[in-house]
Structures are given as structure tokens and as C-alpha cells.
Amino acid sequence: MKKLAVLVSGGGSNLQSIIDETKNGILKDIAEVVIVISNNPLAYGLKRAENSNIKAVALDYKNMERKDYDAKMYNLIRESEVDLICLAGYLKKIPEKIVSEYKSRILNIHPALLPKFGGKGMYGHFVHEAVVKAKEKKSGATVHFADENYDTGSIIIQKEVPVYETDSADDVAKRVLVVEHEIFPKAIKKVIENLK
């Protein structure tokens, strides 16, 4: 059974899909979420963790020195004996020490078809607005390994969705979110099978 740490900054709907799959889906008997960490004490993702009896820790990014924040996160992950780290709508850079120590074991979900619409400042709604503005015919979601930079690690899995001329950023966001919930657990399963 592989232990997962999930990092969230907001609502945590991807976290929920991972939790659900560890209980009754494709991750059952191969993975469990042992800790959820958020940079935002008000993140609903923390509540989702508590509702599933998973350790939930808020590290208040705004009120901590960066080095203290990084050290606390590193220690929490080490103490939890985590095998994989899943970034489920986590909006901060991962501490370098964690990136180097957990190489090829940090997964990130991105709401576009990387390498398009990735990089600093490209997250959440900003991505969907950029897709609509560029008059793209398709978008989608990507799960990739996280490295030192935003959205540059190698791709594990992608899935496309159509983008229609009449779509707003919200329309695209809804369509992409469905795909995110589907492919994140699949990517985790794929990585776990390759760890053996």
C-alpha cells in the first residue's frame, strides 16, 4: 500500500476524487491518502480530509517565513513516510529539497494540454480564459511529474476535451474538471505500478 500526501490550496475536488478512488475505485488496496497539507488555512480541501479521517495540516503561507514553511512541509512529508506527493490544485512552488528527494514521485494536475498554457501565473481560471481567448478548438487536462519549474516535468497522462466557439472560460473549466477527476487517479495508479 503506497502512502500519498495530497497538497491543496482550495476546494480540493481533485483530492476528493483521489480519496474516493482509494476507498472504492482503481486505487483501492494500492494507495491511501495519509496526509493533506494546504498553504491556505481556509481551503475546503482540509475539511474534505477531516471528513474522511485523514490528517489535515494548514501551513499558513502568508504568515510564515518561506524557509520555515518549507522545513515544516518537508518534515510533515518525511514523518508521514510518504511514497508519492500529489499536487491537487496546489498553487505554490514545491521546496527544492522535496523536489530533489522525491524525484519522479511528485505528480501535478494542470487544467490544459501541456506544454500549451503552462508556466508561472497559469493556473485555474487564468488557463481557461487564455484557452478561450486563443480560440483553441480543444483543451483538456494533464498529469505530469513536478520538477523545479512550473509545468515542465514529463507528462504521465493527458486527456482532451472539445472547446466550442460559444464557450466561456467557465464552460471550459467545467468540462476540464470532469476529465481531471478521471485522469488523476489513473496517473497515480500508473506511477505506483512503475514503482514496484
User: What amino acid positions are annotated as catalytic residues?
Assistant: 110
Three-state secondary structure call for residue 86:
strand
Query: Which residues of 129-195 form beta strands (DSSP E)?
Result: 138-145, 155-162
Torsion from C-alpha of 90, 92, 97, 103, nearest 10 degrees: 40
Within 8 A by CB and 6+ apart from 82, the residues are 3, 4, 5, 34, 35, 102
C-beta of residue 157 within 8 angstroms of C-beta of residue 194: no
Three-state secondary structure call for residue 46:
helix
